[in-house]
Amino acid sequence: MKRNGILNADISRVLSYMGHTDTICIGDCGLPIPEEVERIDLALKFGEPKFIDVLEEVLKDMKVEKIVLAEEIRDQNPEQLEAIRNLFERYEKGFDAIEFVPHAELKRQTLDCRAVIRSGETTPYSNIILQSGCIFA
């Protein structure tokens, strides 16, 4: 039995297989997930688990060099954007590699992700694509 880290076997497996520049998405409960992309569904009920809690656990286990967010988050969910920035300041000091794209483009980019983790989040535009960094460079 694992002693530390993410207990969800699917998330742990996907993170273990990821290489430099591979991507994974964490989404709210409404984000459409393409059929050809692995779905890791954590949604229990509306609001649980929270997007930010899932993101925090993934950040503890993954080196991130860049993130992609929907530009709509700036106006439609600034509290979530602030929470994301605070997490990255804690886990990736000085991190500033944020790309904002239209929500439609973010949804298109999920096609290239290794997996999409579905949270129970119900606040708008609580979706993020994480690009894997290199831990030994």
Binding annotation for substrate: 28, 103, 125-127
Token pair in block for residue 2: 């694992």
Identified catalytic residue from 7, 20, 21, 86:
20
* Distance, CA of 12 to CA of 84 (rounded, Å): 21
Task: Tell how far CA 52 is from the center of its chain.
Answer: 9
Phi–psi pair at 124, nearest 5 degrees: -65, 145
User: Annotated catalytic, 20?
Assistant: yes
Annotated binding site: 28, 103, 125-127
The angle at the Cα of 23, spanning 114 to 92, to the nearest 5 degrees, equals 140
* Distance, CA of 6 to CA of 116 (rounded, Å): 16
Residues taking part in catalysis: 20
